[in-house]
Structure 1
Amino acid sequence: MNIQNRQKLSEIIKTARGSMSQRAFGKLLGVSATAVQLWERGDTVPDTENLGKLAARAGYTLEEFLSFLDGNPVSQPPEINDIVKKIQFLPLSQVALIGKAVADRFAASAEAAGE
């Protein structure tokens, strides 16, 4: 995997981890915190099994995930399209709750990335 792909993978891992610690995220995937740290730094690349787990956390198949890492566009997963359609018909009070959850997620991701 080239350096650009490793950097892209690193960002995806950090985003997928969100506000979870590296230890908690590693436990979720069945790997050590050190493995997560090495992936995020781009020092090592997850094996195929763990790439598959990361792809699933991002809502993609392994093939779509690898294609994305190679710089190819990937369409949104069908679940996302369904969620967007449902949001369009929700009462505004419920949309506000979703908006807050999204904002909280972005804040946690930015904090985890050190921004």
Structure 2
Amino acid sequence: MSQRAFGKLLGVSATAVQLWERGDTVPDTENLAKIAVRSGYTLEELLGFLEGKPVSEPSEINQILNKIKVMPLSQVAMISRAVADRFSEEAESLGA
């Protein structure tokens, strides 16, 4: 992903992302939280990682939930519809 695209996701400039990557500046807490969510981690886990502490991989469900939190609502609606369809099919198969 380009610096421009990543910056757009976070609502910052590509220059800000470039400065972070070079270590010239550090993202503020709000942007660190956004980066953590995008990466599938909590803010605390990301801060621990930045301090050199080992970080375990987030569970698959947590990765999915974190992605949903930052998805455009149009995509969330598609997921909601798929989930509703799945429940409906399951209920029908059980004779409910």
Q: What band does the TM-score fall into relative to the shorter chain?
A: 0.5 to 0.7
Is residue 37 from structure 1 mapped to residue 26 from structure 2 by the alignment?
no
Within 2, Cα distance between the matches of 1:70 and 1:82? Answer: 22
How does the TM-score come out when normalised to structure 1? 0.50
Closer, same or farther in 2 for the Cα pair 1:82/1:57, shift >3 Å?
closer
Match for residue 106 of structure 1?
Answer: none
CA RMSD after TM alignment = 2.2
Quick one: distance in 2 between partners of 1:45 and 1:31?
13
| Gap regions ≥5 residues in structure 1 | 1-19, 84-115
TM-score (normalised: structure 2)? 0.59
Distance 1:73 1:25, change over 3 A: same
Q: Aligned partner of 1:55: which letter?
A: A
Match among 7, 31, 48 for residue 67 of structure 1: 48
Counterpart CA distance in 1 for 2:5 and 2:15 is 11
**Unpaired runs of at least 5, structure 2:** 65-96
Q: After TM superposition, what 4+ stretches of structure 1 lie above 4 angstroms from structure 2?
A: 80-83
| Larger RCO (CA under 8 A, 6+ residues apart) | 1
* Residue 2 of structure 2: aligned partner: 21
Task: Give the CA deviation at 1:74.
Answer: 1.2
Task: Name the % identity.
Answer: 83
